[in-house]
């Protein structure tokens, strides 16, 4: 039975691990895009909240009534033809 020289084992471990810079670059780019998307979505959310605060009370109920009225007119027209 042969025993490897102890110096061989330390030489193998002493080699630096290669760094895959392309993979690190892709990961950084994905994280940057994710951060930008979250930032953009939060801005949209803030603007929507501000617009919802400006809607007068009862406006949505009036829109629902108009929609129902248009639906009844369309049903009447469909029934005539």
CA distances from 68 to 14, 41, 77 (A): 77, 33, 14
pLDDT band at 1 (very low <50, low <70, confident <90, very high): low
pTM more than 0.75: no
**How many helices (DSSP H) and strands (DSSP E) are in the chain?**
3, 0
Domain ranges of the chain: 19-80
Token pair for 35: 């951060």
pLDDT tens column, 21-76: 999 999 999 999 999 999 999 999 888 888 888 888 788 888 889 999 999 999 99
């Amino acid at each position: 039975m042969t025993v490897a020289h102890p110096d061989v084992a330390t030489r193998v471990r002493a080699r630096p691990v290669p760094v895959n810079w392309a993979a690190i670059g892709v990961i950084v780019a994905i994280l940057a895009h994710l951060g930008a998307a979250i930032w953009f979505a939060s801005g949209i959310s803030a603007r929507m909240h501000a617009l919802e605060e400006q809607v007068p009370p009862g406006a949505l109920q009036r829109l629902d009534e108009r929609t129902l009225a248009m639906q009844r007119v369309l049903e009447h027209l469909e029934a005539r033809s």
